């Protein structure tokens, strides 16, 4: 049975609004997805009914909030096939990568190599550059092909005895390319390297099993997963988290503190210093409940139909360049329009009620790889419809006429 996007979109209050007198066509979910009513209600309920700081409190509100907070950790663990003690709350995927880079950096020395790819988001580049600047670590970048796939042979050739960490996107936020993550992990492990996977895009569109992937670390953000901003997940194998030094100091992450010495809590709390994003964690738990109750294979098929509809509608447009056409890619449509800057394209599309992203998408090395300074990006989600796909095609065609 086809996925009923019309029924689902009624659960998202914001999708009923109009922009410049036109129905909103929201095609910016790769940047941040909208929130269903159940997530909004869960967060309001937490603040109105049971809010208190988590852990250590002995009163009713503290116990209720702590229970909801830790229950959400269990939901995040179940979503990716992890154990509960392997899930660390962070403020997002970016902080999760920084946490790992900081922790691993203590054991890296000048000349050690970190292998990335040309399709990485800045969040999976800059933290490793810190180690290059401060410790002399060498960064290598595996190249990609013209259609947006990673060059597997080049990737293999870049692995060597100096490679200590391999960090890569499960799914590109610009190209939509879905990387064969388990294969990359196996190759990295065979070379003796640890692996970190940026799953911020894939977690929304793929069913992730970190044990099957065998990755050492996996990260994702809540706000792309129909949850709130300000919260994300770091998964780490239990033994990897146990060996990782603390990222920040403060309350909750300690065992005992004296004037002379400190001891640390066991993971995951070792990495959760201070008051955490309590309401946001509860909201993400609600988002996970909501998403996992849906038919996820049907969602994947629906999103593929949306992308195919757009591709068919724009086939033969000689003024259009699409970035990334790898087989099996996700429903992300990055493009340039001949003679037009991406920012101008996005602003004109907005006049038709169509919301897309424009710029470098925090992927400047990837932009340079394709010889462009920026691009526009339409990213599709489960609440988008075929009619919206058609509206985007029509609006983009009309927008191009301004530059013809």
**Buried/exposed code over 204-228 (b: 16+ C-beta within 10 A; e: otherwise):** bbbebebeebebbbbbbbbbbbbbb
Report the pLDDT value the prediction gives residue 56, as an integer from 0 to 100. Answer: 82
Of the candidates 41, 62, 100, the residue with the CA atom closest to the CA atom of residue 241: 100
CA atoms within 13 A on the CB side of 27: 35
Question: Is domain 41-292 annotated with CATH 3.40.640.10?
Answer: yes
The residue-averaged pLDDT of 162-181 equals: 98
CA pair distance 90, 92, nearest whole angstrom:
5
CA pair distance 52, 62, nearest whole angstrom:
5
The residue-averaged pLDDT of 145-149 equals: 97
- Where does residue 60 rank: exposed (0-12), middle (13-18), buried (19+ CB within 10 A)? exposed
**Domains of the chain, residue spans:** 41-292, 295-401
- Where does residue 254 rank: exposed (0-12), middle (13-18), buried (19+ CB within 10 A)? middle
The pair of three-digit structure tokens given for residue 386, joined into one six-digit string: 């075929």
**57 has a pLDDT exceeding 90:** no
Report the pLDDT value the prediction gives residue 202, as an integer from 0 to 100. Answer: 98
Helices 278-292 and 37-45 cross at an angle (nearest 10°) of: 150
Question: Which residues are designated catalytic?
Answer: 362
The residue-averaged pLDDT of 197-223 equals: 98
**121 has a pLDDT exceeding 80:** yes
Phi, psi angle pair for 25, to nearest 5°: -115, 100
Task: Classify 13 as helix, strand or coil.
Answer: helix
The residue-averaged pLDDT of 22-27 equals: 98
Of the candidates 296, 380, 381, the residue with the CA atom closest to the CA atom of residue 36: 381
Question: Is domain 295-401 annotated with CATH 3.90.1150.10?
Answer: yes
Asked if residues 119 and 363 have their Cβ atoms less than 8 Å apart, the reply is yes
How many percent of the chain have pLDDT more than 70? Answer: 100
Report the pLDDT value the prediction gives residue 211, as an integer from 0 to 100. Answer: 98
Asked if residues 381 and 24 have their Cβ atoms less than 8 Å apart, the reply is no
Of the candidates 371, 375, 374, 366, the residue with the CA atom closest to the CA atom of residue 143: 366
Give the rounded distance of the alpha carbon of 81 from its chain centre. Answer: 17
Count of helices and strands (H, E) across the chain: 15, 17
Confidence of residue 1 (pLDDT cuts 50, 70, 90): low
Task: Classify 83 as helix, strand or coil.
Answer: coil
Confidence of residue 259 (pLDDT cuts 50, 70, 90): very high
Mark out the alpha helices in 86-226 (DSSP H runs): 93-105, 126-135, 152-158, 181-190, 202-205, 210-213
The pair of three-digit structure tokens given for residue 229, joined into one six-digit string: 């901003």
How high does pLDDT run on average in the chain?
Answer: 97
Q: What is the pLDDT of residues 319-372, one digit of tens each?
A: 999 999 999 999 999 999 999 999 999 999 999 999 999 999 999 999 999 999
Asked if residues 294 and 382 have their Cβ atoms less than 8 Å apart, the reply is yes
Would the pTM count as exceeding 0.85? yes
Cα–Cα distances in angstroms (integers) from residue 71 to residues 78, 229, 276, 289, in the given order: 11, 19, 15, 11
The residue-averaged pLDDT of 51-71 equals: 95
Residues 6 or more apart whose CB falls under 8 angstroms from that of 224 comprise 29, 30, 31, 32, 33, 200, 201, 203, 204
Asked if residues 288 and 238 have their Cβ atoms less than 8 Å apart, the reply is no
Give the rounded distance of the alpha carbon of 325 from its chain centre. Answer: 20
Q: Kindly calculate the radius of gyration of the chain based on its CA atoms and give it in whole angstroms.
A: 22
Paired sense of beta strands 25-26 and 217-221, if any: unpaired
Cα–Cα distances in angstroms (integers) from residue 51 to residues 65, 67, 231, 281, in the given order: 6, 11, 17, 12
Report the pLDDT value the prediction gives residue 22, as an integer from 0 to 100. Answer: 97
The residue-averaged pLDDT of 210-223 equals: 98
């Amino acid at each position: 049975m086809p996925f009923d996007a019309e029924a689902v979109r009624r659960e998202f209050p914001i999708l009923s609004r109009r922009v410049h007198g036109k129905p909103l066509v929201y095609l910016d979910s790769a940047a941040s997805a909208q929130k269903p009513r159940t997530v909004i209600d869960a967060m309001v309920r937490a603040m109105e009914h049971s809010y208190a700081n988590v852990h250590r409190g002995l009163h009713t509100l503290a116990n209720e909030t702590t229970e909801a907070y830790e229950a959400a950790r269990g939901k995040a663990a179940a979503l990716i096939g992890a154990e509960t003690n392997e899930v660390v709350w962070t403020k997002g995927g970016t902080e999760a990568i920084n946490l790992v880079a900081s922790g691993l950096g203590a054991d890296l020395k000048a000349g050690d190599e970190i292998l990335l790819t040309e399709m990485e988001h800045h969040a999976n580049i800059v933290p490793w550059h810190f180690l290059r600047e401060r410790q002399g670590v060498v960064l290598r970048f595996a190249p990609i092909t013209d259609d947006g796939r990673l060059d597997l042979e080049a990737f293999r050739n870049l692995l060597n005895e100096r490679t200590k960490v391999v960090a890569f996107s499960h799914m590109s936020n610009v190209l939509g390319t879905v990387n064969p993550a388990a294969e990359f992990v196996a190759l990295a492990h065979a070379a003796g390297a640890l692996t970190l996977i940026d799953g911020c895009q894939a977690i929304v569109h793929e069913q992730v099993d970190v044990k099957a992937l065998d990755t050492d670390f996996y990260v994702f953000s809540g706000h792309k997963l129909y949850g709130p901003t300000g919260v994300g997940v770091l998964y780490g194998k239990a033994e990897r988290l146990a060996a990782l030094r603390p990222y920040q100091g403060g309350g909750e992450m300690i065992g005992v503190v004296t004037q002379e010495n400190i001891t640390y809590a066991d993971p995951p709390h070792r990495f959760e210093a201070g008051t955490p994003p309590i309401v946001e964690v509860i909201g993400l738990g609600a988002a996970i409940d909501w998403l996992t109750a849906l038919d996820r294979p049907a969602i994947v098929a629906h999103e593929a139909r949306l992308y195919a509809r757009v591709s068919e509608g724009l086939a033969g447009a000689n003024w259009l360049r699409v970035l990334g056409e790898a087989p099996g890619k996700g429903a992300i449509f990055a493009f340039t329009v001949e003679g037009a800057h991406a920012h101008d394209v996005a602003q004109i599309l907005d006049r038709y009620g169509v919301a897309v992203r424009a710029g470098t998408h925090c992927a400047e090395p990837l932009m340079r790889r394709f010889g462009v300074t920026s691009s526009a990006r339409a990213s599709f989600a489960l609440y988008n419809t075929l009619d919206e796909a058609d509206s985007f095609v029509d609006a983009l065609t009309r927008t191009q006429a301004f530059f013809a």
